[in-house]
């Protein structure tokens, strides 16, 4: 497979969120504002790419039975880098994301990609795969947060776009809407796929 | 931080349900909720592990990380504590009670990657809970999670032979049900508030 194929497969055709229903926790939690989603997406992409790269590099030397633990520790190290970076340069954002930065460690996407791809492929391919999966994840996050922020606050990236006539839908800021939005997204994608498949 | 541990306990179950308001532990929630029995098994395991590991991590944070000034390593340490405890429990249960191992054992490995447990620890640290508050919060969160997965499993059992549009089958409909459950839980939010 060429690098481009790996990227496209990881980002869209096998998108972790809507194809494999992985990494739902943070997808739901940070999508009330686009800014949070973007930062979260970038953080996850960074961790994915580098942890994939590292795990792939040491894949021949890790014994099978401690593999999971080794992967978790590698992932945790990169998450700590992201956490410290956010605390130093974007303290407000770090506060807003709260525990969800640390929770990148238990984000199933990262473990999933490490197991499914990095444990079997070369470091460079794994790196590309990580970036692809990260981009796909960020894409979903931005899509959901776009709708939620627009209808919930009347803003996009914090800038007012709706006029005075607009009444904010406060439900969109609260938890249930996150579930509904993701369900609708999955519905649209699976529905169109079923139709294209001639079912 | 004057909230009594009991209020935190109740609030963690209802108003700030770890799954329905903080979205933690979704992966196993979606995949295991097909049967009531296995949901109950996993729920029990989560209650048990969450309560103990959060209290353990409370001690680790206050008596190891802070005195040694290595708080920046907290994520790695917490994960190790959780993983080690799960492994340890698995071994003990296997020796002591094969019956319990049979019902609970298969769920234990799933728990290490359950973000609810890790999340409870992180919330405990961020909100600066005292020891008793930590116990109340951890137990309440575990029970709240179990409540949510049992409710969902019950609904899904009824839903088995109903017509569901092709695109919604599986994850889609589960998420919508969860959304409606979350809506219902918002009704509790006036009772007690913790943040």
Question: How many residues are listed for chain A in this entry?
Answer: 199
DSSP label at residue B97: -
pLDDT at B106: 65
**DSSP-derived secondary structure for chain A:** --HHHHHHIIIIIT-TTTTT--SHHHHHHSTTSHHHHHHHHHHHHHHHHHHHHHHHHTTTTS-GGGHHHHHHHHHHHHHHHHHHHHHHH-HHHHHHHGGGTGGGTT-HHHHHHIIIIITTS-HHHHHHHHHHHHHHHHHHHHHHHHHHHHHHHSEETTEE-S-TTPPP-GGGGSHHHHHHHHHHHHHHHHHHHHHHTT-
Flag if A103 and B180 touch (Cβ within 8 Å). no
ipTM exceeding cut-off 0.85 for this assembly: no
Look at residue B103 in the predicted model and tell me its pLDDT.
Answer: 67
Least confident of A111-125, B9-23, B100-114, B174-188: B100-114
Q: pLDDT, tens digit, for every residue of A64-100?
A: 777 777 888 888 899 999 988 988 888 888 888 878 8
pLDDT, tens digit, for every residue of B124-168?
A: 888 888 888 899 989 999 999 899 889 888 888 888 777 877 777
**A111 → chain B, closest CA residue:** B113
Residue A198 has pLDDT above 60, yes or no: no
Q: How high is the pLDDT of residue B35?
A: 79
Q: What is the mean pLDDT of residues A133-159?
A: 84
Cα distance from B27 to chain A (closest Cα, Å)?
7
- Determine, for residues A176 and B179 on separate chains, whether the beta-carbon distance falls below 8 Å: yes
Average pLDDT over residues A175-192: 83
Q: Do A72 and B165 touch (CB under 8 A)?
A: no
Task: Tell me phi and psi for residue A52, to 5 degrees.
Answer: -60, -45
Residues from chain B contacting residue A187 (CB–CB below 8 Å): 165, 167-168, 172
Q: Find residues 7-66 of chain A whose CB sits inside 8 Å of chain B.
A: 21-22, 24-26, 28-29
Between chains, do A102 and B75 touch, taking CB under 8 Å as contact?
yes
B183/A79 Cβ within 8 A: no
Average pLDDT of the residues of chain A: 82
Q: Which pTM value belongs to this model?
A: 0.83
The proportion of chain A whose per-residue pLDDT surpasses 90, expressed as a percent, equals 2
């Amino acid at each position: 497979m060429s690098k481009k194929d790996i990227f496209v497969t990881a980002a869209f055709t096998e998108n972790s969120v809507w194809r494999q229903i992985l990494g739902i926790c943070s997808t739901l939690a940070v999508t009330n504002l686009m800014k949070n989603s973007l930062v979260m997406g970038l953080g996850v992409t960074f961790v994915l790419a580098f942890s994939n790269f590292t795990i792939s590099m040491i894949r021949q030397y890790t014994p099978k039975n401690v593999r999971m633990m080794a992967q978790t520790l590698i992932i945790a190290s990169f998450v700590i880098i992201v956490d410290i970076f956010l605390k130093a340069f974007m303290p407000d954002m770090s506060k807003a994301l709260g525990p969800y930065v640390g929770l990148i460690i238990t984000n199933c996407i990262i473990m999933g990609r490490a197991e499914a791809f990095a444990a079997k492929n070369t470091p460079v391919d794994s790196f590309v795969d990580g970036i692809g999966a990260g981009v796909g994840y960020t894409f979903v996050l931005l899509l959901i947060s776009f709708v939620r922020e627009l209808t919930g606050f009347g803003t996009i990236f914090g800038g007012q776009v709706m006029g005075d006539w607009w009444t904010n839908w406060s439900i969109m800021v609260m938890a249930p809407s996150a579930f509904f939005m993701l369900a609708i997204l999955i519905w649209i994608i699976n529905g169109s796929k079923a139709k294209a498949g001639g079912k | 931080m004057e909230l009594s541990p009991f209020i935190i306990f109740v609030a963690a179950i209802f108003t700030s349900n770890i799954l329905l308001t903080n979205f933690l532990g979704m992966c196993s929630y979606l995949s295991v909720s097909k049967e009531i029995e296995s949901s109950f098994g996993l729920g029990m395991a989560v209650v048990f592990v969450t309560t103990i590991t959060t209290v353990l991590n409370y001690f680790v944070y206050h008596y190891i990380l802070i005195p040694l000034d290595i708080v920046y390593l907290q994520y790695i340490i917490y994960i190790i504590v959780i993983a080690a405890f799960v492994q340890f429990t698995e071994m003990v249960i296997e020796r002591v009670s094969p019956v319990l191992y049979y019902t609970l054992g298969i769920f234990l490995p799933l728990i290490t990657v359950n973000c609810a447990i890790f999340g409870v620890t992180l919330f405990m640290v961020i909100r600066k809970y005292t020891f008793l508050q930590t116990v109340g919060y951890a137990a309440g969160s575990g029970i709240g999670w179990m409540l949510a997965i049992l409710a969902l499993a019950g609904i899904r059992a009824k839903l088995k032979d109903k017509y569901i549009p092709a695109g919604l089958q599986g994850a889609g409909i589960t998420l919508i049900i969860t959304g409606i459950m979350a809506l219902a839980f918002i009704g509790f939010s006036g009772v007690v508030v913790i943040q």
